[in-house]
Amino acid sequence: MRLTPFLRQHTPLIRFLGKRTFPKEADHTPHPHPASPTHSLPESFASYRQNAVQHGSLKGPQTSASPTSTPKPSASAAVQSAGAYGAVGGRSGRQLGDVRPKDGEVWDRSELPQRFRRTPFTETEIEAIESGGATLTW
């Protein structure tokens, strides 16, 4: 084909100034992100995980106490916060309690009243979908 000579003569539309240079040594030491709120790195990953609050604190449920009283940590709270995964996956299903839906909640659409369920597709709609709209007549 005649396409090969054309491709060999192709010049890119972008031009780089100067010679290609590569850094002798790249700096791979950890440093804080310029937009970080603290502008510092954590001491260790474990300490970061203890303070992380992405989807809730990993230390377990936190209760607000008045400044005059000093709450004593319970044994179960100490076990929960000492878990490897914190509050995420740190409790068994039995400790989570009843999982049945509350009054007015459902698990599946089929449990809803008929007016809230999906309407089934008609034969005409199915044919239009399967043919890509080619059989659709107006």
Q: Tell me the DSSP string of 57-121.
A: BTT-------TT--PPPPHHHHHHHHSTTTTSS-S-HHHH---S--TT--SSGGGS-GGGSPPPP
Of the candidates 89, 80, 91, 86, the one whose C-alpha atom is nearest the C-alpha of residue 52 is 86
- How many whole angstroms separate alpha carbon 78 and alpha carbon 34? 36
Is residue 121 in some structural domain? Answer: yes
Q: What is the residue range of 112's domain?
A: 108-132
- How many whole angstroms separate alpha carbon 79 and alpha carbon 43? 24
Q: What is the mean pLDDT of each run of 10 residues along the chain (138 residues)?
A: 69 85 84 88 81 59 50 47 55 81 86 88 90 78
Quote the pLDDT of residue 65: 47
- How many whole angstroms separate alpha carbon 76 and alpha carbon 73? 8
Is residue 103 in some structural domain? Answer: no
pTM of this prediction exceeds 0.75: no
What are the structure tokens assigned to 55, written together? 């989807």
Count of domains observed in the chain: 1
Quote the pLDDT of residue 97: 82
Is residue 37 in some structural domain? Answer: no
Quote the pLDDT of residue 100: 85
Quote the pLDDT of residue 56: 55
Is residue 98 in some structural domain? Answer: no
Matching residue, tokens 């996956």: 89
Is residue 38 in some structural domain? Answer: no
Is residue 52 in some structural domain? Answer: no
Is residue 112 in some structural domain? Answer: yes
Is residue 88 in some structural domain? Answer: no
